[in-house]
Amino acid sequence: MLTVIESVLDAAEVRDFRKALASARWIDGAQTAGTRSVAVKQNLQLDRGDPLAVDLGNRILRKLGHHPLFVSASLAETIWPPVFNCYANGGHYGTHVDSALMRHPDLGRTMRSDLSATLFLSDPDDYEGGELVIEGQFGGQAVKLPAGDMVLYPSSSLHQVTPVTAGERVCAIMWMQSAVADHSARAILFDLDQSIQALAVGRSKDDADIDRLIHVYHNLLRRWAQP
């Protein structure tokens, strides 16, 4: 399941991010690639310890922590800090799958990657190419969103970033360990939660039907969540 989350950052925040990143110290992204993906990765990244990356990453995490759609779709338990990357001059990232287990740089423990996310910081008109293509049950789906929007997708998916043939594509990427590891179960919970929120509009706070649905949601979550 792919989930688009609009306006994680508003237009003013995007401008602030891009202004700060315009003078960033970019390094070769191949330095953080795995033994196989290094052969297909051509981009620039900010060092994970760069103070600018830490500051901007924390701003994103604070926004996500209060975003209802993100919380509902991800049920995120642990989030790998955002990594900022830049694609230009033919930069691309060939077909690959994200690592299943990742050593969290701040927590000092291994996390499981259930979900991956790309937060776009460049508008589609700013560059040519650079589509995020995610392979799914029905083939590849190309994603190229407005600046400030984010897409969530299973970390188990094969995916790629096509070559940027003009302009510059700047994004932030991150990975999440969800409280619910099973993708199908997480999708059911998301659909149920979104339906509850929609049905609750205009109803009283003690509506018995809504309460029963919430009861079902939390008991399913209790059944499927991992300690």
Query: Could you give the residue ranges of the DSSP H alpha helices within the chain?
Result: 11-21, 51-65, 68-74, 183-200, 208-224
CA distances from 2 to 17, 55, 73, 123 (A): 25, 28, 10, 20
CA distances from 188 to 26, 180, 192, 193 (A): 40, 11, 6, 9
Residue 169 known to bind ligand: yes
In a 3-state reduction of DSSP, which class is residue 43? Answer: coil
Residue 203 known to bind ligand: no
In angstroms, the CA 82 to CA 175 distance is 8
Residue 98 known to bind ligand: yes
Annotated binding site: 96, 98, 159, 169
Annotated binding site for 2-oxoglutarate: 169
Annotated binding site for Fe cation: 96, 98, 159
